[in-house]
Structure 1
């Protein structure tokens, strides 16, 4: 089972022979002193003095791409007096959002709102250099890329920042937030995953001066907040369905914008950037990508404000890359060719020993065979490598694996190491008691696997876990009480939890077709979690490979190559087309594709190829519109009542709307309605694992719905639409009905062999879809009340996302 950043390394040099790990240079510190990461936003203090107002005309033009000499000589004041010898006073900037308690009356003009914010809030320090540029903020000296980004924000420009993991991109986002709210406006911060949205919400919630809201689909809290945290899908839906939500929004911050080339969800980023209101400025934050200028050029073209592309390639903490095989031990990764030679010699000796037959050893490490990448490799034994990492005091370590089962297996295997000191064991016991009380968990959880492993300083973390368990693990890790965390790649996405070392227990990943070597960009983002800024002099990255894999592994590409370029995944779905017809008319829908990154990238092709691809896209759009005509969602240039419902759903729009108008759900009890919406969302991770569902579980209803969906699929086929829409997957029907009947999650896991984390994710998405349906239909329709009952039947205990967020 599998869950669905980088600079030149500063590895120590070796001699003529492969450098064993035991001979690492002596400058590797055993236990560096703790400190706060430079550029970190945690633990910052606020100054009490107010910042003088500044007109846009007072802003200085952007300086050349280097730090001015006088910046180096800045005196960091404590009294708010002049900085250096410049004539400009040391201004104080304010985190000027409203307080968490919303005012009784919202200001009606930007000037009033700015005055209101200034009167309510204390003001943290903003330090200016002699040339008028902001060179320090909240007690931190800005790095070069932060300096340039802040310049661009103060000049009212869009900003696209590409920098390595851990370089301090978040500071740019937080400065933009402050710039928006001190002007009396609002700011939206988008994240690619709900866990990151929740973390950002908590970060801002801890600041009593910020009026923050959260919208993830699972949870909506204070949607009128001055700072709104949301997933990108919610932003995209708001652009089309709730434009009032975007009033007074000065900036939208797109964190992890390189997600634009995600195969399944990337189009959401493109649509959001294209259709965002013209007055709204954009702050795009990305890991290191190869075609940053191309992506920036596209954003510059589709947004009315000018854009600064700001690139930083230097990691704040350098990385040292190492390769480990069973035969060679641990070797400087830059000496990979020597390891390949040694492994080839060993393989040749084994072949000679076997009478000319090649050793089956490599083949025995293969699982299923696939395409170019082959099948999933069996991981080599990491015990020796872990022993060396522990001996060299390189903990804490993040160990990445792309198999949930392997994460759990490795954690259990290393639980006997007892990595906590007696003092840390006491702290862990106290923390576990605190978490049990905080999340209102039964004390029996203390005897469960997650808590027992943690008392040894070990844990696993993956998408198959219940969200509350993942959060418990994250809290333990941030307290410094987990020394080895075995996790899938989702842990590397945005969440600020670095370690001293990163270990790749596997370097092949399933890409939807086969198991293939990691992309450079993915390797860089995960490797970038090594090295804690302000604590470690270096971060250590270890590649664990089977001897037979060393020959083909792209080791040099990972540590020295350029990350892959971002490519467009733009495709207009039915909901988007209906929105565009309603907004700009059917004849103008093709203009939306002309603004896509896909179209922008095609300009590099020769004229014939470019025109051919444009014709193909126009033909595809026309087919979709013709299908919507035939099914009654459009009447020429008009969106029908049926189409109005569909365009508000923002997902599964044709499947759900057809069922609504077919009447298939009119007489169903709440638990059966929940079953239908779960089936819409669910998709078995392995088709061969799809369970048999007895006919007694609403078999007639399921057949009726399958027939409606079959008609839809045939209609798409007639119009040549590919890929086809998703059909219902009834594999979670037993679990859904049992859960609605009151069964606990533990009982579901034991009796039905379900994966709790996957079930929780699907149930929460089904709840979100049911809420969208209820919001889209007439409130007097009897089905609206039935939907409320269906939501209530499923939204309890571990599934209740709002409860978990409020408890934590």
Structure 2
């Protein structure tokens, strides 16, 4: 029976508490004192600030808050900082309360949004609070990982609900809140409810700290020999994590039986990329890698192996701190300083405690270990001095190795201070936007009074408040000047003293911010253009978040090619540098998009909070006719595969949802189908997750698998034809660029040099434009087990008498997840 069946007949605090604790007792759970204290306050209707260590059961208190809200017939909201954590919590709560009682809103996904329990990102709740204020149907708010309040770009979303929902009961949770006295007083003043602070420095699993001046591989060998594994080795870049993992292959991590158990759990898991093949070698040796740039299926594999106790060491980044359920006995810091995007600095107390808190998990360990490595130059000096011995003369004569230039060091004293340091006070990150003003103006009542309250009674200091007021006034004047808002001489029937002259779509700020701009921009394109489908893609790509790693790789590639070309042309160094400054990553339709954006923004000022950003990743991959693996290799993005895949998946979903059916040509449908199949074959988990959200009941019933069953790539005939077309056209492009070595690598049995010589005796060039890659020039004879294909080459004379021929092995294609071709020749018809 799920928890919904345990709701008592009345909503008295004692009844709610007894019903909830009885349910936990039946599950064999004994509540910690901090949990009991927090739950008593929750069922009593009080605000709760829960500041207890990682692994102390904050999720159970959150479930109790949802239960109490249901007992009072109130809607409760759970917020988290990232969509993946919101989705995970959605399924957890579905299992506890039943799928019909739980909904989810993340901006690009909405499931059962009328349910009494809603899981959402903090931004979604903030927009609801701005739009509806005290009228919002929000009874209880549980804000998980509340320390995100201090995030520079997103902290406003954690503050706004506190300011605009005085009717709600708040449960704020984090292991690293620091001093919360001002939140305690502020919540009580705003909501009229008592606010209880439940703090506990006692961890269910105590931690033991140690500082090491031995080389890291020796430290690890000692930790392994003293049963302190699994060890999470913390790095502050993805590259360092992977390099470290590979350097540890010389250490014997596992017994033969353990390696067999690893191989058994991996089973038929497909390692489809170069990074995946490297990871396969590592995990079979008992070493995991974990960071945000990995494909989701690889991260999930590492997590499952770790949960099974089969990985002795996991090398990863500090991102493990948010919402990942990996049992770790020891956290090993390789450094106590990091580059934060602007400078190298020492870790803050909050960052240290977030990471260290992952050591020793309740239910797995009785004690956890936190180990810190001394800086490399210190370790080297210690070893050298140990060899010298106690001779003072020789010790004085030793030239100590110095740290690298710009190095920000740390010591055992630094480590000890961090252990006892309180997390830094959370800093207010309030900000004003177009969407904020439009939401407040659009709600019933006096918007001027509401904005005055919001701007003068937030958590900012007076100087910052004056700055926000000036910004808000400037935005309001621009709305008036643009005719978006009109001032009313007399309040209307809803008490408004100003109103919008345009209709905002429902939840306008909750969805893809520039989706309406994209819809308007589609109308600027001609259906007759040979690049129409790709231009639609470029408009959609311009509205997506910038994947910095990919764009940086494209820029490096473009500049590298430009330098090589300029050197070949004899361009002098100074001029080369000047020209390089003008080179950027591909930005198709940039002039059209920037011009359209400026025009659209004048009539729809809320898009001013988000800038259009022309870029070409889907288009680039499609025009280059590359597979996912080829694209990763071309731009050297092996450590960012997950970033690339998430971008492709977001683009696929946006293309599927945003482009109206009447604008979809056959070419565009082909492209969308190709993109969806490409994502599914690389790692279907992102698409599977969307499908599970539509049917959460079925998702709960099905047993979680290490890797989702991937449908045969040939099952989607339309998408498979595009894959074949791209694979064939890739060879046309390489032939046009005279890249014989790459052609030989793809099809070593073909005499490419002779074939190209013969072609160029008759024609001057090989066409690679839109018509050259179109379906009309690909001839396919479909048979049961193989297809015979001929890619006709577009020549300048239009004779179309040359082509590349191949056979497509359907069974091998299904096995590999992409079109497997056996090229038979480049010949004249």
TM-score, scaled relative to structure 1: 0.66
8 Å Cα contact 2:334-2:373 kept in structure 1: yes
Residue in structure 2 matched with residue 333 of structure 1 by the alignment: none
Q: Higher relative contact order by CA 8 Å / sep ≥ 6: 1 or 2?
A: 1
Residue in structure 1 matched with residue 318 of structure 2 by the alignment: 489
The CA deviation at 1:743 is 4.6
Distance 2:178 2:357 in 1: 16
Of 634, 639, 654, which aligns to 2:485?
634
Of 621, 625, 645, which aligns to 1:738?
621
Is the partner of 2:541 in helix, strand or coil? helix
Of 66, 89, 107, which aligns to 1:200?
89
Residue in structure 1 matched with residue 748 of structure 2 by the alignment: none
Is the partner of 1:141 in helix, strand or coil? coil
Distance 1:630 1:484 in 2: 61
Matched, 1:159 2:22: no
Structure 2 matches for 1:601-616, cutoff 5 A? 602=461, 610=462, 612-616=463-467
Is the partner of 1:554 in helix, strand or coil? helix
Of 119, 125, 137, which aligns to 1:235?
125
Distance 2:438 2:3 in 1: 50
Residue in structure 2 matched with residue 426 of structure 1 by the alignment: 260
Cα distance per residue 1:417-468 (max 9 Å; x no partner)? 342333333332232127x3xxxx5789997222332111111111111222
Structure 2 matches for 1:160-309, cutoff 5 A? 160-183=49-72, 185-207=74-96, 209=98, 211=100, 212-217=102-107, 219-239=109-129, 247=137, 250-276=139-165, 278-309=166-197
Cα distance per residue 1:598-628 (max 9 Å; x no partner)? 23xx3xxxxxxx3x44332211111122233
Matched, 1:567 2:427: yes
8 Å Cα contact 1:288-1:563 kept in structure 2: yes
- Would the alpha carbon gap of residues 744 and 251 (structure 1) be closer, same or farther in structure 2, given more than 3 Å must change? farther
Residue in structure 1 matched with residue 331 of structure 2 by the alignment: 502
Structure 2 matches for 1:417-566, cutoff 5 A? 417-433=251-267, 436=269, 441=270, 448-546=277-375, 547=378, 548=403, 549-550=409-410, 554-566=414-426
Structure 2 matches for 1:113-152, cutoff 5 A? 125=22, 138-152=27-41
Matched, 1:590 2:451: yes
Distance 2:276 2:468 in 1: 57
Residue in structure 1 matched with residue 438 of structure 2 by the alignment: 578
The CA deviation at 1:300 is 2.7
Distance 1:416 1:472 in 2: 22
Residue in structure 1 matched with residue 210 of structure 2 by the alignment: 322
8 Å Cα contact 2:537-2:618 kept in structure 1: no
8 Å Cα contact 1:47-1:125 kept in structure 2: no
Is the partner of 2:152 in helix, strand or coil? coil
Cα distance per residue 1:289-334 (max 9 Å; x no partner)? 2221212322333335432222222222222222223xxx3xxxxx
The CA deviation at 1:413 is 1.6
What RMSD over aligned residues (CA atoms) do the two structures have, in Å?
Answer: 4.4
8 Å Cα contact 1:213-1:225 kept in structure 2: yes
8 Å Cα contact 1:499-1:530 kept in structure 2: yes
Is the partner of 1:140 in helix, strand or coil? coil
The CA deviation at 1:149 is 1.0
Residue in structure 2 matched with residue 93 of structure 1 by the alignment: 19
Is the partner of 2:233 in helix, strand or coil? strand
Is the partner of 1:139 in helix, strand or coil? coil
The CA deviation at 1:557 is 2.8
Greater Cα offset, 752-761 or 209-218: 209-218
Equivalent pairs counted in the alignment come to 615
Is the partner of 2:292 in helix, strand or coil? coil
Distance 2:673 2:162 in 1: 35
Is the partner of 2:50 in helix, strand or coil? strand
- Would the alpha carbon gap of residues 741 and 580 (structure 1) be closer, same or farther in structure 2, given more than 3 Å must change? farther
- Would the alpha carbon gap of residues 321 and 665 (structure 1) be closer, same or farther in structure 2, given more than 3 Å must change? farther
Is the partner of 1:638 in helix, strand or coil? strand
Distance 1:390 1:567 in 2: 40
The CA deviation at 1:172 is 0.6
The CA deviation at 1:535 is 4.2
The CA deviation at 1:707 is 4.2
- Would the alpha carbon gap of residues 155 and 433 (structure 1) be closer, same or farther in structure 2, given more than 3 Å must change? same
Cα distance per residue 1:752-779 (max 9 Å; x no partner)? 43432222333445567668867xxxx8
Cα distance per residue 1:235-264 (max 9 Å; x no partner)? 3345567999975x5433111111111111
- Would the alpha carbon gap of residues 620 and 790 (structure 1) be closer, same or farther in structure 2, given more than 3 Å must change? farther
8 Å Cα contact 2:75-2:117 kept in structure 1: yes
Distance 2:75 2:109 in 1: 20
Residue in structure 1 matched with residue 632 of structure 2 by the alignment: 749
The CA deviation at 1:200 is 2.4
Matched, 1:684 2:542: no
The CA deviation at 1:485 is 1.0
Distance 2:501 2:522 in 1: 18
- Would the alpha carbon gap of residues 92 and 243 (structure 1) be closer, same or farther in structure 2, given more than 3 Å must change? same
Distance 2:441 2:5 in 1: 52
Distance 2:13 2:206 in 1: 40
Distance 2:655 2:327 in 1: 38
- Would the alpha carbon gap of residues 740 and 289 (structure 1) be closer, same or farther in structure 2, given more than 3 Å must change? farther
8 Å Cα contact 1:400-1:504 kept in structure 2: yes
Cα distance per residue 1:80-123 (max 9 Å; x no partner)? xxxxxxxxxxx9626xxxxxxxxxxxxxxxxxxxxxxxxxxxxx
Is the partner of 1:759 in helix, strand or coil? helix
8 Å Cα contact 1:672-1:737 kept in structure 2: no
The CA deviation at 1:794 is 4.3
The CA deviation at 1:541 is 0.9
Distance 1:481 1:578 in 2: 53
Residue in structure 1 matched with residue 537 of structure 2 by the alignment: 674
8 Å Cα contact 1:252-1:280 kept in structure 2: yes
Cα distance per residue 1:572-601 (max 9 Å; x no partner)? 2221221111115552353353476423xx
Matched, 1:400 2:234: yes
8 Å Cα contact 1:255-1:286 kept in structure 2: yes
Greater Cα offset, 146-155 or 626-635: 626-635
- Would the alpha carbon gap of residues 784 and 183 (structure 1) be closer, same or farther in structure 2, given more than 3 Å must change? farther
Greater Cα offset, 545-554 or 238-247: 238-247
8 Å Cα contact 2:107-2:511 kept in structure 1: no
- Would the alpha carbon gap of residues 57 and 308 (structure 1) be closer, same or farther in structure 2, given more than 3 Å must change? closer
- Would the alpha carbon gap of residues 564 and 244 (structure 1) be closer, same or farther in structure 2, given more than 3 Å must change? closer
The CA deviation at 1:561 is 1.5
- Would the alpha carbon gap of residues 597 and 388 (structure 1) be closer, same or farther in structure 2, given more than 3 Å must change? farther
8 Å Cα contact 1:671-1:737 kept in structure 2: no
- Would the alpha carbon gap of residues 673 and 626 (structure 1) be closer, same or farther in structure 2, given more than 3 Å must change? farther
Matched, 1:623 2:474: yes
The CA deviation at 1:408 is 0.8
Structure 2 matches for 1:52-63, cutoff 5 A? 53-56=9-12
